[in-house]
Amino acid sequence: MFFAGGLAQNPAAMVLGAGMYNQMPMNNGGQPPVQSDEALASIPGAEMVKRLLDQYGIDSSMLITIGMLLTIFNSFTGLYSFFLSLVYQAMNFFAAYFLSKASIRSNDECFDYIMEYLSRNEISTDSRLFHVSTQQDIIPRKHKAMFYDGATFSAINRPDSEFVQTDEYGPKLKFIPASAKKHYFFFEKTLFIIERTIEHTATHSNNGGGARPDDETVEIWTVGRNPLALRRFLAHCRVLFMKQQQYKTILHTCDSYDMRWSASQTRPIRSLDSVVMTFKDKDRLLTDIAEYLSPKTKSWYAEQGLPYRRGYLFYGLPGTGKTSLTTAIAGAFNLKLFILSLGSQNLHDNYVQELFLSLPPRAIVLLEDVDSANVDRDYGYGVPQDDDIDSEDDEEVDKALNRGSSRRPSNVSLSGLLNAIDGVGSAEGRVLIMTTNRRESLDSALIRPGRVDMEIEFGRANNEVLEQIFIQLYSGKKQQMSSLALEQEEKKSEKDVLAEAAHKHEVEELAKKFASMVPEGMFTPAEVQNFLLPRKRDPNLALKELPDWLKIQTDNLKKAEEKDKRKRAKFLQRRHKWFKQRKQMKFLNQDDDSDAESADSRKKKRHSKEFLEDIAEENGEDKKDEKSEEPAKEGEETKEEKDVVPEIKTENVDGDDSKSKKSEEGDWSDVETSRPASRPTEPST
């Protein structure tokens, strides 16, 4: 049948085959095979080919042989594909009725469990087909499929692992088994088959994140109609994974490709002791969180019909430990940590809502930079608002200057964020921690009780904090003790214990001395750590070099303050010009009682007028002079004025007009925060 099938597929070969059959007994004595010639003549074009071959002295009977070979080859391939389809059908039948199967997609945490098992047990890592990669961290989910094969979270971190990422020459090679291939292994004497399928998605995301990442599906089969073995295997993988993560904090961040949460990093749990802050604040915060997370509190919330959520605001200078404390809390209370930076340009209201809705219960959401852009109460960026102008005090100027920060506004609106935080479907049991460097610019709606239940200020190091930082660094306390270290700890001789106590006492004494030498409220904890870290082996050296470092820092601080003063003066000058220019543009001469004008707008104008008058008074200018001042003609503006108000073409001061607002944004964007958060760093020692 297949032979005939092969022939049917190739009529030319059939004729050639027939020709050969007819020709065989005649092919003797060098006589031309008459019948084969006749057979050939029946094939269109064969005569021409024959003539061509004859011309080059090639025996045309070769055609017959080739035809015969083709026929045989075709028949075999037909036969092969038939058997293959039979095998597939049999396999499908077997799989449908005699196998249990589980499918897991890479965007599910269960995927991590399976990959952890595969890497731990080194299944198929010696595969004959493999990829080679030098990439390290398993950060983006798009690479998950690759990295999981031979180097999962834990495997990477195991110092004894062959998957350790680097050696003295740089990143090591990783050997990764290929996908689209079945891997076999036994678990509890049952055969399991795993197949990974990577779905290449060519589509582009609409969030500006470029091509969508490839997703992966893992399918697991076991023999037998009873899925129990499969469930036992999955449960085993889960426990294995959870145990592995016991001493780690998994950081989930928003994947910029598809705007979903993605486990991007694991970190060893940071102990709460390692975050230095005043005892009072730490105690207040930890007691509150512990109380909130207790099962009793959960049922209390349910009884009261209150949404079971809690919010905290950590505010203060950069490098004061806001993020560090959040990570430590996640580790201490065994909560998953989800980090969202509102400054991200890809983030929009809808995404934020979806991200909040997809949070698991018992998780910390860390909203970083809540002050960023549209989330604060400003209606314009970098432009001093009319509400600010009636005040010349430091705080008001700071606020206005901060608005002029060169940070790009985020695309998340305040209402979008509030909806996400309060979302009806949002996970119960979550802890929301918002951090900001500029508490004063936050909208009161964002930090009202119910959204923010406790605020903690992080400031420059006081005496207590300075002392603790020193002790923390030199006491030799370990973050996490391995079981081996714990065993050794227990086996310590009395002599060792005494030596340790003496060392502790000595460090405490040095810490007191250190704290007394450093001025309180001058440095952030990060700055102090920055000084101590290069001298971490020798506390006495740190004390010896401290005066020089302090001198450098004080000089730098003075320079920074002078720069700051200049910036403030320039800002005030610009502000004055800005309002003067606005007056010249006649918007103040508008009829204040216009019906169309909102009360808000009128209020702002009044403030503006008052501001102008104040400024005029301050500068000794009388109103007469101002009136007589010619409005700047087009093309005659100085460069600085142009910078300040290049394009005010509207009379609306409310900033409703987007064009006007846009020009204002650009004008002030070069003014940075008035109080420099970081000072020039210490020259390397």
Binding site for ligand ATP (CB under 6 A): 275-277, 318-324, 437, 458, 525-526, 529
Minimum CB separation of residue 280 from ligand ATP in Å reads 14
Minimum CB separation of residue 232 from ligand ATP in Å reads 42
CA 486 → CA 157, 472, 490, 491, distances in Å?
20, 19, 6, 9
Residue placing its CB nearer to ligand ATP in the complex, 78 or 525: 525
Residue placing its CB nearer to ligand ATP in the complex, 536 or 586: 536
First to last CA, the chain: 87
Minimum CB separation of residue 684 from ligand ATP in Å reads 18
Minimum CB separation of residue 458 from ligand ATP in Å reads 6
Residue 679 in tokens: 């000072």
Burial of 219 (0-12, 13-18, 19+ CB in 10 A): middle
What is the C-alpha to C-alpha distance for residues 680 and 576, in angstroms, rounded to an integer?
Answer: 31
Residue 286 in tokens: 């930890």
Residue placing its CB nearer to ligand ATP in the complex, 61 or 437: 437
Minimum CB separation of residue 127 from ligand ATP in Å reads 40
Residue closest to 353 by CA, chosen among 340, 368, 364? 340
**Contacts within 8 Å (CB) and 24+ apart, 588-596:** 588/612, 590/651
What is the C-alpha to C-alpha distance for residues 229 and 468, in angstroms, rounded to an integer?
Answer: 53
What is the C-alpha to C-alpha distance for residues 591 and 509, in angstroms, rounded to an integer?
Answer: 72
Minimum CB separation of residue 532 from ligand ATP in Å reads 11
Minimum CB separation of residue 247 from ligand ATP in Å reads 18
What is the C-alpha to C-alpha distance for residues 165 and 173, in angstroms, rounded to an integer?
Answer: 8
Residue placing its CB nearer to ligand ATP in the complex, 321 or 382: 321
Residue placing its CB nearer to ligand ATP in the complex, 177 or 319: 319
Minimum CB separation of residue 314 from ligand ATP in Å reads 7
Minimum CB separation of residue 324 from ligand ATP in Å reads 3
Residue placing its CB nearer to ligand ATP in the complex, 310 or 322: 322
Residue placing its CB nearer to ligand ATP in the complex, 280 or 495: 280
**178 close to 125: Cβ distance less than 8 angstroms:** no
Bridge pairing between strands 170-171 and 174-177: unpaired
- Name residue 262's beta-bridge partners: 253
CA 5 → CA 422, 480, 664, distances in Å?
70, 72, 80
CA 544 → CA 51, 378, 419, 522, distances in Å?
103, 48, 55, 19
**47 close to 31: Cβ distance less than 8 angstroms:** no
Question: Can you give 177-226 as a three-state secondary structure string?
Answer: ECCCCEEEEEECCEEEEEEEEEECCCCECCCCCCECCCEEEEEEEEECCC
Minimum CB separation of residue 435 from ligand ATP in Å reads 6
How is 512-548 classified by DSSP, letter by letter? Answer: HHHHHHSPTTSS-HHHHHHHHGGGTT-HHHHHHHHHH
Minimum CB separation of residue 438 from ligand ATP in Å reads 10
Residue placing its CB nearer to ligand ATP in the complex, 104 or 275: 275
Minimum CB separation of residue 661 from ligand ATP in Å reads 28
The residue written with tokens 């995301």 in the block is: 205
Residue placing its CB nearer to ligand ATP in the complex, 234 or 325: 325
Residue placing its CB nearer to ligand ATP in the complex, 146 or 339: 339
Minimum CB separation of residue 369 from ligand ATP in Å reads 8
Residue placing its CB nearer to ligand ATP in the complex, 353 or 524: 524
**Contacts within 8 Å (CB) and 24+ apart, 243-249:** 244/116, 244/153, 244/154, 245/153, 247/480, 248/153, 248/157, 249/327, 249/330, 249/331, 249/337
Q: Which residue is nearest to ligand ATP (CB)?
A: 321
The helix/strand/coil state of 436 is: strand
- Name residue 221's beta-bridge partners: 101, 193
The tally of CA atoms less than 13 A away on the side-chain side of residue 441 is 31
Backbone angles phi, psi at 251, to 5 degrees: -95, 125
Residue placing its CB nearer to ligand ATP in the complex, 33 or 321: 321
Residue placing its CB nearer to ligand ATP in the complex, 197 or 323: 323
What is the C-alpha to C-alpha distance for residues 346 and 358, in angstroms, rounded to an integer?
Answer: 18
Residue 169 in tokens: 């020459």
Minimum CB separation of residue 275 from ligand ATP in Å reads 4
**153 close to 113: Cβ distance less than 8 angstroms:** no
Q: Where are the beta strands (DSSP E) in 390-507?
A: 431-436, 454-458
Residue placing its CB nearer to ligand ATP in the complex, 414 or 466: 466
Minimum CB separation of residue 434 from ligand ATP in Å reads 12
How is 107-172 classified by DSSP, letter by letter? Answer: TSHHHHHHHHHHHHTTTTTT-SSEEEE------SGGGHHHHHHH--HHHHH-TTSTT--EETTEEP
Residue placing its CB nearer to ligand ATP in the complex, 106 or 324: 324
Minimum CB separation of residue 329 from ligand ATP in Å reads 12
Residue placing its CB nearer to ligand ATP in the complex, 78 or 321: 321
Minimum CB separation of residue 272 from ligand ATP in Å reads 10
Q: Which helix (H) or strand (E) holds 297?
A: helix 295-304
- Which residues have a Cβ under 8 Å from the Cβ of 109 and sit 6 or more positions away? 263
Residue placing its CB nearer to ligand ATP in the complex, 347 or 456: 456
